[in-house]
Structure 1
Amino acid sequence: MNSFRVIVTALCCVVVVFGGLPFSSNAQLDPYFYGKTCPKLHSIAFKVLRKVAKTDPRMPASIIRLHFHDCFVQGCDASVLLNNTATIVSEQDAFPNINSLRGLDVINQIKTKVEKACPNRVSCADILTLASGISSVLTGGPGWEVPLGRRDSLTANQSLANQNLPGPNFSLDRLKSAFAAQGLNTVDLVALSGAHTFGRARCLFILDRLYNFNNTGKPDPTLDTTYLQQLRNQCPQNGTGNNRVNFDPTTPDTLDKNFYNNLQGKKGLLQSDQELFSTPGADTISIVNSFANSQNVFFQNFINSMIKMGNIDVLTGKKGEIRKQCNFINKKSSELDLGIVASAESMEGDMVSSI
């Protein structure tokens, strides 16, 4: 744990180029919230995630995506982790999530170990947020002291998930609107999109770009022609659409600035990604160029935006609860054996939403 704290401390001591680094927009959140009540929290989460990442290098990207999909729906409250019950309609079955979310079982693994070490202390919302920060470190990205003190929601909102989560074919205007609705600005949009520097997407979500963009019968003109042919080889027109393609063809499992270099070279995998650079006159172009020119600048702003996103509409104080099991509210989870409940997820799922 000491070595991990050194890494995090060193990486978080930076000056953000596009704005000050807010450790928390909510005064009740504190990186040392569990310093006395659960001092082993960070080391427990780190050990679980490090072990999983060794056998599944895609998992860190999936954890960060899971965090994003949680925060964009009624705030960072672990609502995305809730399974269907008689009273809860799970967000996991929303269109951007169905058969695509990964990492729920990993969060459950961490929760199980944390409950043994410090029962009824640490929320699932905090575990997911912390796991996202650790996932960045494990893949070569920056680390930061994650503000903690969130509590878990008592419900989910599938309709809001369908409404709020941006899609892979969104225009730049629609992306900006989706982020603005969460209190996130254009710099946040570009910085958080950088999470597409690792992970994979199914061919299903790019087939139109490759063969029939906007019903023209032609490919998306913003795609590099060599890259287009590579993608067509991986994603045949009459295929099932289930083949998986790396977001970054050069360093697919590393969090780095290559995403932005790819956009400059017309090699953004999703339409919504390439929109950041190829929309004529867009204010996002200069931000992409800045991040492409300096990995340090990207990392600084990624930290800033991840903390900002992690503070969206958090529950603190006496709001919500501290779930005993992440997939069920306490009234239900008290009837279950924590050690044998498995999350309902598709381990072969891949990224669907824009981020």
Structure 2
Amino acid sequence: MSSSSVALVVFTLALVFSTLSHQCHGGDVPLQVGYYKGKCRLADVEAIVGGVVKAWYKRDPTIPAALLRMQFHDCFVNGCDASILLDGSSSEKTAVPNLSVEATRDAVALGGGGWYIVQAGGETGPSLLAKNADLPSPSISVSDSIKAFARKGLNATDMVYLLGGHTVGVTHCSLIMDRLYNFQNTGKPDPTMDSSLLAALRHRCPRNASVDSSVDLDQNPLSSMIVDNSYYRQIVRNRGILKFDQDLALDPMSKPTVGAIANGFDFSTRFGQAMIKLGTVDVLTGKQGQIRSSCRAINNASK
């Protein structure tokens, strides 16, 4: 998704919520389905957001991947508090993993995934320093990743399902060059990579290329933009693009779950359940947070 498309989507959503913020009011209640009903006069907030996402999906079908990544980056750090949108010279937005980040539920459904019910009512927290954005590193081990997710109240199965977001994701050649040419300084490619995939990726990502090309994380060309279990079917065949993706299919701690998803028929349902659980991580309600009048700044006055 281009940076201009991302900016326009975020701006449009921000404009929607800025307009509604003058009509809406919150409350000291926990997360609930249908939270916004009746809180914004006659405005149907979820329908408005869904309409914006649908309109942009028609123009740019890569939006599910962009919004899935944005939700994970926001929710995994201090909960789903939209702190990733806050401006500032050292804010969470400026953390290295967030520099390339581009109403996720609607985008997932448009991308072929299942429709799941979203609980709302969480409020926004304070700006978080970039150095404290504790997102898992792309080079993390499966065991350390499981521990990182556990600290957020998410178990190993949740982690494997949430990685399903890679079914519509992309990476860049610069992040996989070591697997193609010099894995762990051996001067050889990663031996776990399927030979036909290796040949295709070397063609896509030649040495000393002047352009850092993008690579689909799901190498099934018929499914690379569809939210389904194809990503898992690829990695069980040693066709994972990122080392972590391939490790997920090989590590004894995650291999059984990956195999079950690859051969199952309920991915959409289970993925939706994992996304709902992600949305409850470190949620702020009541007196803990605030409802911003601007998506990009903390309110000066208290609630």
TM-score past 0.5 threshold: yes
**Offset at residue 240 of structure 1 (A):** 4.4
| CA deviation string 1:71-106 (max 9, x = no partner) | 111121111111115xxx2212212122x111xxxx
What is the rounded CA distance, in whole Å, between the counterparts of 1:241 and 1:169 in structure 2? 23
Question: Shift in Å at residue 303 of structure 1?
Answer: 1.6
In the alignment, what sits opposite 1:320? Answer: 289
Per the alignment, in what secondary structure is the counterpart of residue 239 of structure 1? coil
Q: CA deviation at 1:167?
A: 2.3
Alpha-carbon separation, structure 1, partners of 2:117 and 2:276: 9
Residue in 1 aligned with 2:230?
258
1:288-314 deviation per Cα after TM superposition (whole angstroms, max 9, x unaligned): 111111231x22221221111110111
SS class of match (2:202)? helix
CA distance in 2, matches of 1:240, 1:186: 39
Aligned-partner residue type, residue 310 of structure 1: G
Spell out, residue by residue over 1:128-173, the C-alpha distance to the aligned partner (whole angstroms, 9 max, x if none).
xxx1111110101011110000111122231121xx2122222212
CA contact (8 A) 2:115 2:272 kept: yes
1:145 paired to 2:149: no
Partner of residue 184 from structure 1, selected from 154, 162, 167: 154
Question: Residue 35 of structure 1: which of 23, 37, 48 is its match?
Answer: 37
Find the counterpart in structure 1 of residue 101 from structure 2.
Answer: 101
Q: 3-state DSSP class of the match of 1:269?
A: coil
Give the aligned length.
269
- Contact 1:277/1:288 (<8 A) preserved: yes
Amino acid at match of 1:214: Q
Cα root mean square deviation, aligned: 1.6
1:319 Cα deviation from its structure 2 partner: 2.0
CA distance in 2, matches of 1:249, 1:172: 22
Distance across 2 between alignment mates of 1:203 and 1:92 = 24
C-alpha distance in 2 between matches for 1:286 and 1:207: 28
Contact 1:151 1:321 in 2 (8 A): yes
Q: Which amino acid aligns with 1:272?
A: F
The answer for the alignment partner of 2:277 in structure 1 is 308
Equivalent in the alignment of 1:353: none
Residue 205 of structure 1, CA deviation: 1.1
Q: 1:76 aligns with which of 73, 80, 98?
A: 80
* Separation in 2, partners of 1:195, 1:166: 15
Contact 1:204 1:241 in 2 (8 A): no
Letter of the 1:71 partner, please give it.
Answer: C
- 8 A Cα contact 2:64 2:108, kept in partner: yes
Residue of structure 2 equivalent to 1:61: 65
1:117 matched to which residue of 2? none
Determine the C-alpha separation between the residues in 2 that align with 1:218 and 1:83. Answer: 43
1:190-339 correspondence to structure 2 within 5 Å: 190-240=160-210, 242-250=212-220, 251-279=223-251, 282-296=252-266, 298-331=267-300
- Aligned counterparts of 2:70 and 2:275: Cα–Cα separation in 1: 13
Q: State the alpha-carbon separation in 2 of the partners of residues 179 and 228 from structure 1.
A: 31
What is the correspondence of 1:125-164 to structure 2 with a 5 Å cutoff?
Answer: 131-161=103-133, 164=134
Cα contact 2:143–2:253 (8 A) shared by 1: no
Structure 2 length-normalised TM: 0.85
1:242, CA displacement in angstroms? 2.0
Q: What amino acid is the match of 2:96? A: F
CA contact (8 A) 1:29 1:147 kept: yes
Report 1 or 2 for greater relative contact order, CA contacts < 8 Å, sequence distance ≥ 6. 1
Could you tell me which of 39, 49, 52 is aligned with 1:45? 49
| Structure 1 portions without partners, runs of 5+ | 1-26, 103-130, 333-355
| Structure 1 runs, 4 residues or longer, greater than 3 Å off | none
Q: Structure 2 vs 1, CA of residues 241 and 94 (structure 1 numbering), >3 Å: closer, same or farther? A: farther
Could you tell me how far apart the structure 2 residues matched to 1:73 and 1:245 are? Answer: 27
Distance 1:56 1:263 in 2: 27
- Secondary structure at the aligned position of 2:154 is classed as coil
SS in 2 for 1:96: helix
Percent identity between the aligned chains?
Answer: 40
Q: Report the Cα distance in structure 2 between the residues aligned to 1:299 and 1:262, rounded to whole angstroms.
A: 17
CA deviation string 1:220-252 (max 9, x = no partner)? 111101001111111112124621011112211
Q: Aligned equivalents of 1:174 and 1:167: distance in 2?
A: 10
Query: 1:157, 1:142 → 2: CA distance?
Result: 35
